[in-house]
Structure 1
Amino acid sequence: MKSGKWTFSHIFPVAATMSILFLILLLLPTTTFSDLTSDRAALLALRSAVGGRSFLWNISEPNVCSWAGVLCNSNRSTVIELHLPGVGLSGTVPANTVSNLTNLQTLSLRYNSLSGPLPSDLSRLSDLRNLYLQHNGFSGPIPEFLFSLTNLVRLNLADNNFSGPISTSFNNFTRLGTLYLEKNNLSGQIPDLNLPGLAQFNVSYNQLTGPIPKGIAVKYPKSSFEGNPLCGQPLNDLCDNGVGGNDNGKKKKKKGLSGGAIAGIVIGCVVGLLVLLLILFLLCRKRGQKGNGSKVEGGVKESVIEIPGEKPVESVEKDGLGGGYSAIGAKLKEKEKVEGNVGGAGGKSLIFFGKVGKRGFDLEDLLKASAEVLGKGTFGTAYKAGLETGITVAVKRLRDVSVSETEFREKLEGIGSMDHTNLVPLIAYYYSRDEKLLVYDYLPMGSLSALLHGNKGAGRTPLNWETRTNIALGAAHGITYLHSQGSSVSHGNIKASNVLLTTTYEARVSDFGLAQLVSPNSGPNRVAGYRAPEVTDPRKISQKADVYSFGVLLLELLTGKAPTHALMNEEGVDLPRWVQSVVREEWTAEVFDLELLRYQNVEEDMVQLLQLAVDCAAQYPDKRPSMAEVTSRIEELCRSNLQNPTGDIINDAEEN
């Protein structure tokens, strides 16, 4: 080779390197295109196989990453999440559809009508972390191939028709944090699961038998196991020698009793019952004579509140009933010492308000009333009190009152002066050192919370779109009126259990103004899920904090989810942030309550109210609208309802 010239041997390494680089650059987009093409084909195959309403997919758009409910990885090269909840899917999931989304990490097909066994080729989804199949009709045993998906973190198979035993192979899921198997037809015994990271577990309402393994009995509440013929902790049924429930033990004991022993027991019970009835009769007669023949003459008289029923309730808000106003019963005996002339002009009588005047009863009538517990709320226990005169009122016994008597009476005067159609009026109050009672009108329909989250059975009538918007408007009017009374006036405790309903589903806001009366630490669940992020002292709630709470209430109406409900555990965030994340990813259909999706011609109005709710629940107070503006925007929606009434419920043929 002459100096200054290149030979083939010199050129080859450079040419080879350039060729390789060219090939890599050429192949990379081809691979990406190939992955998305395969994913697109799988999604379209699923769409055509399972029917249902429109997926809101623009199939003329080649890039599936822009389709609703489809989430791709950061470089938009493959599908990693598929969310299709509550879109009316039916039939079976065929092979070679979902399983062809080989990089899938999250699959949500919950709240549909899918049935049959799970396709075995789902085992190919080795990267799957979250699998949500609840509220469908999947059947057959829980398939063994599922246990090869060892990366699963959350698995929800609740409310299906799965049968057979719970396999010990669940121990393969070493990363599992959530396992929901409730409301299926599973049978046999619960295996001893060794899953240290399992924080959420539920097998209630199956056909499981035998003892609950000690390893899981101590970790999960009673609600995780109820509805099964199980024994052991945390259930009340003790096991017989570690095996079986109380039934077996009872049968053995019955076999050991002779006929004479049984007869003796029966006779003894009858005699004892007769003696007890006689004693009660004499006591009641003696008490009646005392009540009719005595007067209080400046001394001290004891009045006894008798409230028949069951044991006092725990916080009703934990299970989505939100204070409920559904009579669940309680038994309470309180001795209230009344000084002076009961019901007279003395300082220890009921103080009535404004135009409501006296309702034909006094404190003594109230203390003798039979009552039922309506629920334990933020500020105390509420009772339905039936007076002997036939009047029914609601009575709230306040707890942890932190203000002086003078301040208490001043605050109550202000509350009692509030007069608006959409507020529950305060009829009267009673103050003593040991008792603080508030008397309101009783509304038999109960609270919005109970109606939204209570009985989900076949006999329940769902709230339609028009009813929900009217409730929202009524509550908004009531809160707007409160805010109009002065810049420092706020509600302080807006939540679904404080929106009561008349028999015509008109909203009445209750508990306004009480936040300033009680200790800031009163109640473990105080305004949980509704409190604005800037609030540090619950006694000092601004009007913009009220707007935030009302925004959460609107989201509750739209989604059907309680802000504190366990359903949020799937996403791990509170209700406003969950809604915002779903809307941000354009999965808006996933937000709305399934009961609302059954109605036609309201989608645009639903989105408008959703936007208003998100505006109200803005992180910063200055970004939130005023309640007057909120009311005006809801009024526009209600006018739209009148012009375009809610369509008929979509029937099964239209859904499928």
Structure 2
Amino acid sequence: MAWVLNSLVSILLLTHQVNSESISEKQALLTFLKQTPHENRLQWNESDSACNWVGVECNANQSSIHSLRLPGTGLVGQIPPGSLGRLTQLRVLSLRSNRLSGQIPSDFSNLTHLRSLYLQHNEFSGEFPASITQLNNLIRLDISSNNLTGSIPFSVNNLTHLTGLFLGNNGFSGNLPSISLGLVDFNVSNNNLNGSIPSSLSRFSAESFTGNVDLCGGPLKPCKSFFVSPSPSPSSSVTPSKRVSGKNSKLSTGAIVAISVASALVALLLLALLLFLCIRKRRGSKDARTKQRKPAGVAHTSLTNVDLPPGASSSKEEVTGTSSGMGGETERNKLVFTEGGVYSFDLEDLLRASAEVLGKGSVGTSYKAVLEEGTTVVVKRLKDVMASKKEFETQMEVVGKIKHPNVIPLRAYYYSKDEKLLVFDFMPTGSLSALLHGSRGSGRTPLDWDNRMRIAITAARGLAHLHVSAKLVHGNIKASNILLHQNQDTCVSDYGLNQLFSNSSPPNRLAGYHAPEVLETRKVTYKSDVYSFGVLLLELLTGKSPNQASLGEEGIDLPRWVLSVVREEWTAEVFDVELMRYHNIEEEMVQLLQIAMACVSTVPDQRPVMQEVLRMIEDVNRSETTDDGLRQSSDDPSKGSEGQTPPGESRTPPRSVTP
């Protein structure tokens, strides 16, 4: 009996202790909420458990708060001291995309269990917070796009578990410290850093350092030598002064006259040469227009010379839409920047840029353009545009207003009779098509399951945003239009362009991805977008391109090939061979396959809407998630990826896969 009583007392004491810890953390959250203005009202019910509040996640027994995610909730002002710093068991803290200001609180040093900290896109100021350098368990730190200043401290090396460090778009200055961490992702672009890039960071691409004009070395331009020229010897500097004396130190009258006459003759010769060059240039410009244009056979050239469409102008005067003559200057077509733009260059800067062909698609050709000041953008030169200038500009205004992390923003556009240009950010990691179908030789790094899930979710988020918020049909969903960040987050590109082209032409832009009804109606819809996205999911699962002729039967498309394999017998042939090395993913692959097959239903009304597709994919995602609700591969990158083959007998077919 005594033992039973002691047990009950222990349980009561333990329960009291858990409740008191929960109450303390709940009070810390309420302090933060009451003292921090927020535009989007958070539905936090004080009478309810904090574990049930929006953006709050607790551990399994609800005893402590492990995650607080409040991105884009309109938080304004400073984080009050004694609030979030009391959540000592926190693993993930995301306050990104708000308007928080002031210094990052010093009591963040109490968050010793924190693994992910996302404070990007706020208005934090002050120097690099010393409190953060004490968080030894941090894996990812993003404080980019704030107003932080001062130097980047060497004490960043205290964060021994850090794999991702993002400090771009701030006002950091001074030299970059030598950071000897196992970083996978790193970015300090658009700061005021100077000096040479340490050898420990030189492995990262130039995009990680751009926007720091005084930074050199590594992937950037070589640093200038600081060695000065040798000084002249004492003898050579003294001897001439001894030789010049008396009358020799002054020029005679005859010498002065001779020099004057020679100078006049040289001036006349230069003037005559200048007149000759001007006349020759005027004649040459007329002849140049009749010459055949230079083909785009070189890797780098300027945009005025690359792959111009038939009938397009090759001179800068014609491309910019200007002319000077008896009638005066015609209407000048300018490069139009969308709102919230981050670039400051004009059309002439763009046309002078060094250009490299990235790819030729059905809607046009894409170029990587490097401007003189070092800015890199992508210029898409559209072809076969049927829209008028007014229709073109109206559609571009709609597209230019779309802002979402998983939709690549349109930065600028240009329209003239012969040229239609779009300007986007450059994504150095490339497209999903290149990553998935690139060389599969011995040097290839396989695309693992977690990253494929991350790609599927972020692409679905971008497309759902286009459908729901922007009310825009994409119209051209395919793997080459899914662009990648270094962390495998995606950006959807080439959206909203369908209205610029004729509906009477064959839908070759969707070859391999088009819904059956598009072949008949020539019109794309929300439902046809869902079909194309379903094909994209099958591409991620099978590793097969919808356009390739390796599906076993000539003329069969990817959805029908998958369905035929599933119906005949359940084998591992459906899934990409690169996925066979991972354990415990069979159930998730089957679930994603079911979602994909629902999307590619031949009957449009039987397909789910895009926001429902997104919800289903997120439900498949496993529990270990990052700030955006996405799991990372592992704290140990090698875990579960070397020489592991799942047992075949554990794989079971889906119970209901319908075409």
- The two structures have a TM-score, normalised by structure 2, of 0.50
State the structure with bigger RCO (CA 8 A, min sep 6), 1 or 2: 1
What is the TM-score of this pair, normalised by structure 1? Answer: 0.50
